[in-house]
Amino acid sequence: MNDEALTPERILEAAEDVLRRYGPAKATVVDVSRALGVSHGSVYRHFPSKAALRDAVVERWLARSGSPLAKIAAEKGKAAKRLRRWFDTLIAGKRERALGDPELFATYLALAKEAREVVKAYVDVRFAELETLIAEGVAAGEFRRVNAKSAAQVVWDATTRFHNPAHASEWARPDIDDAFDDLWKLLMQGLAAA
C-alpha cells in the first residue's frame, strides 16, 4: 500500500484521519493499521498502547494550536498590547475550531478528556506565557506591581468562559465579543499602573 518506512509520524497522520472519519468512539488501532496497510502489531512497535497513540495525537494538535500564542509571547512590544492579542488569538482560534467543524472539535475534546497529562502540560506552558507577559508589563511600568503568578491566575480564571471548551456552546452568541471586551476593560482597570 505504501513502501515508505513506518514512522510514528506516519502513524499519527493516519490516526488523525481515522479519528476524523470515524470519531473517537469508533476509531480503532486496527482501522489505523488498515489505513497504513500494515498489521496492527506494527503500530504497537511504535506506540505502547492505544491510549499512548491518542495522547500523541492530542499533543500534536495542541502543539499546532499553541504555536501562534508562543510566538506572540516571545515578541517585543508593549506587554498590554501583546497580552490582549494573545487572548484574542487564543479565543479566536478556539472559536474557529469549535464553530467551524463542531464534530472534529468534539472528537478532540473527547480525546483531550482522556489525555489529562498532555493537556496539563499544554495549559502549564500557556500559563507560563501569561505569567511572563504580565511580569514584563510590570517590569515596563505598564502594570501595577502585582504578583505575576497570582495575576496570571486571576486573568486566566476571569476569562475562563471565553476560552474553556466547556463553554464552547456559548461562543456562538452575538454578544460574546462585547462581553469579553467589557470584562477586559475591567481587568485592565484593575491591572494598569495608577
Partner DNA sequence: GTACTGACAGATATTGAAATCTGTCAGTCG
Partner DNA sequence: CGACTGACAGATTTCAATATCTGTCAGTAC
3 binds, among its own copies, DNA, none (CB under 5 to 8 A by kind): none
Cell numbers for 1, please give them.
Answer: 500500500
Binding partner at 5 among its own copies, DNA, none, C-beta below 5 to 8 Å by kind = DNA
Closest to its own copies by CB, 38 vs 191, is 191
Q: Judged by CB under 8 A, does residue 160 bind its own copies?
A: yes
Q: Does 154 bind its own copies (CB under 8 A)?
A: yes
Report the 10 Å Cβ neighbour count for 118: 20
Residue range at the interface with its own copies (CB under 8 A); choices 42-50, 59-67, 93-101, 175-183:
175-183
CA 58 to chain CA mean position, Å: 9
Q: State which of residues 91, 104, 106, 183 lies at the interface with its own copies (CB under 8 A).
A: 183
Does 119 contact its own copies by CB under 8 A? no
- State the minimum distance, in angstroms, from the CB of residue 105 to DNA: 21
Interface residue list for DNA (CB under 7 A):
5-6, 25-26, 28-31, 37-42, 44-45, 48-51
Cα–Cα distance list, 105 to 59, 125, 168, 184 (Å): 15, 21, 10, 26
- Is residue 177 involved in binding its own copies (CB under 8 A)? no
- Contacting positions for its own copies (CB under 8 A): 150-151, 153-154, 157-162, 164, 166-167, 179, 182-183, 185-187, 189-191
